[in-house]
Structure 1
Amino acid sequence: MKTRLPLNTLLGTALLSLGLGACSNLTPPVASSAPPATAKTAASPAATTDPDYEAPAVARPVRKPLVAPAPIKFEDAITRAGDQLFEDTLAELGKGKRAVVIDPLIDANTGAQTVSTVKMGQQLEALLKKRHTNLSIKPLTRQTLAEQPLLLIGTLTPVNVERAIDTPPDAFRVWLTVIDLRTKRVVAKQIDRATVASVNPEPLPYFRDSPSWHKDKTVMGYINSCQVNTQIGDPADPDYLSRLPAAAVLNEALIAYNDGKVLDANRLYKEAAGLADSGDLRVLNGLYLTNWQLGRRDAAQDAFGKLVASGLEAKRLPMKLLFKPGTVNFNDVGDLPTQYQLWLATMAREAGKTPACMKVVGHTSRTGSASTNERLSLRRAEAVVKLLENRDAKLRARLSVGGAGSREALIGLGTDDQRDALDRRVEFRVVDCI
């Protein structure tokens, strides 16, 4: 028997990968939120008696395509997008009372929470309370998730409207999405843009301090559910939804860490480890940071070893080995030199356990000329390779170097401070041995 399935035009996750994700400015395809047509319909007697019965085509409402408007001040862009999102949600579900839970909003290039993503969530919460009282805000906890509320997710990402390579961003793109946890489907989406000067992309303390960060499976599930990979009516990413209980615990842990409650954060990260994906970077970075700050060096090294192993399995591990401006010398602020020694020793040990080859790629921020950045990034990669080879001579035959300059900047502001620290990273990429 033939089954009619709706055609969903999906854009691949390549749009969200390093570089392309920051420059993507495509208009997502239009989709209806009407439930998919099925081969049989209970409303027709023929459907229950004729095995070859096919339901007639159902007229679907025409939706306007989502088009990002011209950038405006951040606060105004969030209000504009939020108002439309909540109106669309109520139009889709009716005016009945529903609870809304916010899974903390993130930067889609890095997966990190920033000063402005936090502000975005706070502003949307205030907007709900003031103008959309049929929707009541509730905290992200395992108990509230069990009540199957509406889930609000969103991203804030630096983009270049002209999609030019190695060019500073000229806007921040806002994506907002509402998922109904009763049906596990997307019920509303909205896109907007904010001016660069009105956004503060500085990461929160936890993300600032984490030694490694990239878009693991859980973060990619969040982004895929939020952005162009889903249309209204589509199911949200199942891997992402399955990890929501872990997200609730990790949210508590992050709040505790940012408030300086390191012991409480450590306990919560341990609890989350049993709920999250085994390679969840929020857990592994959290366990490393809290154990290090509590003076538990062996536990910290064990957590970092798992972090490295997870990165090598994913064939990509960015590390925030920060250098002094214009040099190949590491930043010597605080205890960073001591931490870097642990990172490199663990990296050499874990790399020595696998026969895989690795390419060490240096990156720079968008300060200075492209040619200068190219040379500097290569020199930094060479310096790191030398340090690894000093720890394990057998790695010499399996390590190569590359310099990306600022071409693959994740933030791209060229501020050379904590706001664009991830632009000055060193990445370890698993490659084929030659």
Structure 2
Amino acid sequence: MSMRMWGLPRQRRAWMGSLLVLLVAVVSGCKTAPPAPVARESVEAVSLDQAIALATDSLAAQIKPPESLLSRFEKPVKRPVMMDPSLDAASGQQTALTRLLDQKVNERLALQPLLEVLPFAQASLGRAQYIVVGTITRLEAARDVFQIHLALAELKTGKVAAQASSRARDEKFDTTPTAYYRDTPVLLLKDRVVEGYLRTGQMAPGEPADSAYLERVAATAMIQEATALYNAERYQDALGLYRDALATPAGEQMRSLNGVYLTNWKLGNVGEAEAAFGKVVALGLASKALGVKFLFNPGSTDFWSDTKISGPYAVWLRQIARQAANTKVCMEVVGHTSRTGSEAYNDKLSAQRAASIQRKLESESPMLVGRMKASGVGFRENLIGTGTDDASDSLDRRVEFKIGGC
């Protein structure tokens, strides 16, 4: 400080000293110590509320506010974000647990000063800057632990801006599928959009989000709105939205085709339902993977006795046989069982169920004779693994069709 300044009154000297400090800050670019690194992954299993708080807060902490002198004195501008409803990573389904995850993550995001939470809907697409994807699934290595993955992608750049993971102790979570996924005949995991969603949830910040998923977000929002209507038993309204989604360039997804099948079946439009299921099968065959949830009586190769469950099976078999014959593919029919009984017993039972399906398909279309083989894997590839033998683990009693050349 110059000698001239010492001659000034004390108050003025104090004021000029503060101004000098401020000017130094401006010249130096307001440099401060770099923030501590944010932990993206927590491996300790905690309660569900704690796990969601850890992952969501970590996600938000990775979103940096704009750096400028004025930004320190201005109220931060909130960035609009919407969450595409989470999925079970093993099955690709929405369940009571994934819906609980959605609710708690959205509530936690709403507490973040830099984020404004929007509903996942078509009307939000014009405003949203970010989209959050999330998964929760039981760990195979630790059956009493669930793994949570959250990722936040920027819609404009298509890149993952933040990602976080945590683990929750099993608190007797309700993993019952929602109505749409309970009723669906097919295993949706092999759909490109669903797989892209699941991949995006585990991508590191800076990586591009899966393009097959991100390019179809608008259609996915429409499909999700239709699915909410289906879950509310508003089948006619849901059918209209599923059809609207299919009419868009990105709308031909397994979930929209399947929605047209389900709503038509609920409305008693059997012919339209069968035609829609044929398209579901054709898409599965084109993807070289198709899983169908045939439910059998316990310990038997007979279909489930309740016709409310097994009533559509004749339609399913007819369309699988017809589409497979038309595309001239060869298939391995793979049977699965739930986790009840010994491994040897379930291996035998799953092979018998696969052979039973093979015979039914060959009777529907003799052209398939010699183009299929049956095998069983018991419960070694369970997706749910609870062994409850009811609708909640019906995916574990599925039959898969592995497609190959002849």
Question: Is TM > 0.5 for Structure 1 vs Structure 2?
Answer: yes
2:140 aligned to which of 151, 157, 160: 160
Q: In the alignment, which residue of structure 1 is the partner of 2:55?
A: 81
2: distance between equivalents of 1:385 and 1:81? 46
The alpha-carbon distance between structure 1 residues 413 and 341, as it changes in their structure 2 partners (threshold 3 A), is same
Q: Does 1:425 align with 2:406?
A: no
Relative to structure 1, the CA distance from residue 343 to residue 177 in structure 2 (aligned partners, 3 Å threshold; closer, same or farther) is same
C-alpha distance in 2 between matches for 1:184 and 1:422:
33
Looking at structure 2, the residues matched to 313 and 355 of structure 1 have their Cα atoms a distance apart, in angstroms, of 11
| Counterparts in 2 of 1:181 and 1:278: CA distance versus 1, 3 Å | closer
1:182 paired residue among 151, 156, 163: 156
1:280 corresponds, among 242, 253, 258, to: 253
Q: Match of 2:163, as an amino acid?
A: K
TM-score using structure 1 length = 0.80
* Paired position in structure 1 for 2:14: none
Question: Given the alignment of the two structures, is residue 146 of structure 1 paired with residue 129 of structure 2, yes or no?
Answer: no
Which has the greater radius of gyration? 2
Gaps of 5+ in 2: 1-33
Q: Which amino acid is the alignment partner of residue 212 of structure 2?
A: D
Instruction: Verify the 8 A CA contact 1:74 1:198 in the aligned structure 2.
Output: no
Paired with 1:315 and 1:375, the residues of 2 have a C-alpha distance of: 25
Task: Give the counterpart of 2:339 among 359, 366, 380.
Answer: 366
Q: Secondary structure in 2 aligned to 1:106?
A: coil
The secondary structure found in structure 2 opposite 1:201 is: coil
Name the residue aligned to 1:247. 220
- Give the structure 1 partner of residue 5 of structure 2: none
Distance 1:92 1:421 in 2: 49
Displacement of 1:178 after TM fit?
A: 0.9
Query: Is the contact made by 1:128 and 1:137 (CA closer than 8 Å) also made in structure 2?
Result: yes
Distance 1:161 1:408 in 2: 13
1:267 and 1:144 map into 2 onto residues whose CA distance is 20
State yes or no: 1:219 paired with 2:194. Answer: yes
Alignment of 1:237-316 (within 5 A): 237-275=210-248, 277=250, 279-316=252-289
Matched, 1:69 2:50: no
Q: Displacement of 1:392 after TM fit? A: 1.7
TM-aligned CA distance change 1:397 to 1:190, over 3 Å: same
- 1:82 and 1:109 map into 2 onto residues whose CA distance is 21
- Are the counterparts in 2 of residues 279 and 307 from structure 1 also a CA contact under 8 Å? no
CA contact (8 A) 2:285 2:403 kept: yes
Contact 1:174 1:194 in 2 (8 A): yes
Equivalent pairs: percent with the same residue? 38
1:90-129 equivalence runs, <5 A:
90=64, 95-129=76-110
Is the contact between residue 360 and residue 381 of structure 1 (CA under 8 Å) also seen in structure 2? yes
Counterpart of 2:127, as a letter, is: E
Letter aligned with residue 135 of structure 1: L
Aligned equivalent of 1:8:
none
What residue identity is the alignment partner of 1:346?
Q
Deviation at 1:61, TM superposition (A): 9.7
Q: Which residue of 1 aligns with 2:318?
A: 345
Q: In structure 2, do the counterparts of structure 1 residues 92 and 315 end up closer, same or farther at CA, with 3 Å as the change threshold?
A: farther
Match of 1:399 in 2: 372
SS in 2 for 1:412: coil
Question: May I ask how many residue pairs the two structures share in their alignment?
Answer: 365
SS at match of 2:160: strand
2:304: which partner in 1?
A: 331
Alpha-carbon offset, residue 362 of structure 1: 0.3
CA distance in 2, matches of 1:79, 1:61: 20
TM-score, normalised via structure 2 length: 0.85
Amino acid of the structure 2 residue aligned with 1:221: G
Alignment partner of 1:135 is 2:115 = yes
For 2:58 and 2:173, how far apart are their aligned partners in 1? Answer: 21
Secondary structure at the residue paired with 1:89?
Answer: coil
Q: Return the letter of the residue paired with 2:90.
A: N
Q: What CA distance in whole angstroms lies between the structure 2 residues aligned with 1:62 and 1:407?
A: 44
Larger RCO, structure (CA 8 Å, separation 6 or more) = 1
Q: Is the 8 A contact 2:40 2:55 kept in 1?
A: no
What amino acid is the match of 1:356? V
